[in-house]
Amino acid sequence: MEVNGVGWIAAIIIGGLAGWLAEQFMKSNMGVVMNILLGIVGAIVLNAILAFAGMGFTGWIAYLIVGFIGACILIAIGRAVRR
């Protein structure tokens, strides 16, 4: 089973890295587990949106970039909901 051209273990590692980068960029304070979840969920959500728009990306670099952007969006939405 693969997720956008990367395996499940690689998706967890790349998702964690993407979540950590988003945490640093957005200056939020979250734990390692939340970083992994944000990176993976952000990548899945943004990939679904991009697929709906007719764009699709595969590979670990694309997964990292999409995960980072998706995690940043999720952090921004979380901040907006809390206010």
Determine what percent of the chain is predicted with pLDDT higher than 90: 1
Residue 56 has pLDDT above 80, yes or no: no
Q: Residue 47, Cα to own-chain centre: how many angstroms?
A: 9
How far apart CA 78 and CA 72 sit, in angstroms, is 10
Predicted pLDDT of residue 1: 44
In this prediction, residues 36-63 reach a mean pLDDT of 80
Q: What is the pTM of this model?
A: 0.81
Predicted pLDDT of residue 80: 86
pLDDT in tens, 4-30: 566 778 878 888 888 889 888 988 877
